[in-house]
Amino acid sequence: MDAKEISRAVISRLPRYYRYLGELHDEGVERISSQELSVLMKVTASQIRQDLNNFGGFGQQGYGYNVKFLYDEIGSILGLDKKHNLILIGAGNLGQALANYVNFEKRGFLIKGIFDRNEEIHGKVIRGITVRPMDEIEAFMKENDIDIAVLTIPKTGAVEIARKLVSYGIKGIWNFAHVDLNVPDNIEVENVHLSESLMKLSYNLGCKDKN
Amino acid sequence: MDAKEISRAVISRLPRYYRYLGELHDEGVERISSQELSVLMKVTASQIRQDLNNFGGFGQQGYGYNVKFLYDEIGSILGLDKKHNLILIGAGNLGQALANYVNFEKRGFLIKGIFDRNEEIHGKVIRGITVRPMDEIEAFMKENDIDIAVLTIPKTGAVEIARKLVSYGIKGIWNFAHVDLNVPDNIEVENVHLSESLMKLSYNLGCKDKN
């Protein structure tokens, strides 16, 4: 299987398959047909078959998919069978909320360090992790084999910090700052722009009012 | 202009135009050409012209777009010229982070009430808003003309709470619970599935390792 051949649209649907298969597995379900999965997930059975055929067609006609096998396989495709070491930059409300979210750890995303520019919270401990000053990021990244940085800082300064992280060797940035980071193409950036999500909701509500 | 004719893809790009135009306006820029905007936003000038032509073509050949006019117009399309009254359900770390986020208010999203099932935090005040018990939601919604609920609760119970919110007359749900809510089609749901966002980042990092 060559991951590069899979379309972005399929990839963007994988986490949802992963979630449903994980829940089915937790409930003790061993096999499921594309029809049953279709009812659960509210997508067509043909879409499910097309999507999952990208990974070599784990299903058997009339027999269904092996839930555990498919769950593990999609997990592996998503890279969830590997550990990722993260640092979190910005220990404000959102940063603390993410640091306290245990589900990321279950998926192999381990927050190793927390950094903030506010001196007053240096030394504060959040879920066992000490908040450190920004000038320790570079050394910490090297010592702790960090590949992902979570940016939970205001947009002012975010571009500059991203630039520094790149120079320190970061591979991926999970960006909550409401700005485009402008990093080189070989750095993966996943943006979570909460205001934009809320605007989409507002737009859709507005369309409804007009109907 | 008929909002219903605009494609989902264009709509999903509007918040980003809105952000850039707002920043330009704050910097005192009055006019901008599609070429200049193209360099800033790193999309093609032809994409920009196509997108903005959906709204009646505000640009004038050789003269550029009126930044303030376009900003206001897109804001109005997104429904940001109206006020939305919100309730927040779940006053854990993430709920508190959102309640403390002032930028939503600037866009007209006003958190009027906060609810939590945990009795120990009833009466606690977050940015001037008292945390209330869940059984007060229905009356509160009626008294305060609430149209959007923000769900920052674990996935267990989220489907049931969404069902209740619908019966109380909610119009839109901003859902952070990691579950599909299964509400009627006339209720707008905007999901923010943080784990899935992180999985996409992990997938993209994995592709890189293989190259």
**pTM for the predicted model, two decimal places:** 0.89
CB contact under 8 A, A104 and B198: yes
CA distance B35 to B21: 14
- B82 and A206 in contact by Cβ < 8 A? yes
> pLDDT tens across A118-174, in order?
999 999 999 999 999 999 999 999 999 999 999 999 998 999 999 999 999 999 999
How far apart CA A25 and CA A28 sit, in angstroms, is 5
CATH class in words for A84-196: alpha beta
Contact by Cβ (8 Å): A25, A69: no
**pLDDT tens string B166-197:** 999 999 999 999 999 989 999 999 999 999 99
Among A94, A104, A195, beta carbon nearest to B107:
A195
Contact at CB, A174 and B200, closer than 8 angstroms: no
Nearest to B41 by CA among B65, B58, B7: B65
Q: Which of B11, B103, B201 is facing A190, going by the closest CB pair?
A: B201
**Which residue of chain B has the CA closest to A15?**
B196
Tokens 């900003």 correspond to B71
Checking if the pLDDT of B145 tops 90, the result is yes
From chain B, the residues in CB contact with A80 under 8 A are: 199, 202
pLDDT number for residue A3: 46
pLDDT digits (tens, 9 = 90+) for B75-111: 998 999 999 999 999 999 999 999 988 788 888 999 9
Average pLDDT of span A38-60: 82
Q: Closest to A201 (Cβ–Cβ): which among B92, B190, B201?
A: B190
Instruction: Give percent above pLDDT 70 in chain B.
Output: 92
Report CB contact under 8 Å: B148, A205.
Answer: yes
Q: Using a CB-CB distance cutoff of 8 angstroms, which residues of chain B are in contact with residue A186?
A: 208
Task: Count the Cβ atoms, other than its own, within 10 Å of residue A54.
Answer: 16
Rounded to the nearest angstrom, the minimum Cα separation between A150 and chain B is 10
Domain residue ranges of chain B, discontinuous segments joined by +: 3-77, 84-196
Which value does ipTM take for this structure?
Answer: 0.89
Q: Is pLDDT at B114 greater than 70 in this prediction? A: yes
Confidence class of residue A4 from pLDDT cuts 50, 70 and 90? very low
Which letter, b or e, does each residue of B47-86 get, where b requires 16 or more Cβ atoms within 10 Å of its Cβ?
Answer: ebbebbebbeeebeeeebbbbeebbbbbbebbbbeeebbb
Tell me what the mean pLDDT of segment A45-65 comes to: 76
What confidence tier does A186 reach under pLDDT thresholds 50, 70, 90? very high
The yes-or-no answer to whether A3-77 and A84-196 have a common fold is: no
Decide if pLDDT at A1 tops 70. Answer: no
Residues of B in contact with A192 (CB under 8 A): 192, 194, 197
C-alpha span between A169 and A153 (Å, rounded) = 20
Mean per-residue pLDDT, A82-111: 92
Distance from CA of A204 to the nearest CA of B (A): 7
Give A3-77's CATH code, choosing from 1.10.10.10, 1.20.120.1690, 3.30.70.980, 1.20.140.10: 1.10.10.10
How many C-beta atoms surround the C-beta of residue B182 within 10 A? 11
Residues of A in contact with B174 (CB under 8 A): 197-198, 201
Nearest by Cα to A194 from B69, B190, B75? B190
**Residue A157 has what DSSP assignment?**
T
Which of A96, A178, A200 lies at the smallest CB-CB distance from B190?
A200
Q: How far apart are CA B205 and CA A147, in angstroms?
A: 9
Residue A106's CB is within 10 A of a number of other CB atoms, namely: 10
Q: What is the pLDDT of residue A50?
A: 87
**B31: nearest Cα among B70, B80, B75:** B70
* Average pLDDT score over chain B: 90
Structure token digits, residue B125: 């005040």
CB contacts of B188 in chain A (<8 Å) are: 201, 204-205, 208
Nearest CA in chain B to A204: B188
Residues A149, A87 contacting (CB under 8 angstroms): yes
Q: What is the pLDDT of residues B27-51, one digit of tens each?
A: 999 999 889 999 999 999 999 988 8
Query: Do residue A104 and residue B4 have CB atoms under 8 angstroms apart?
Result: no
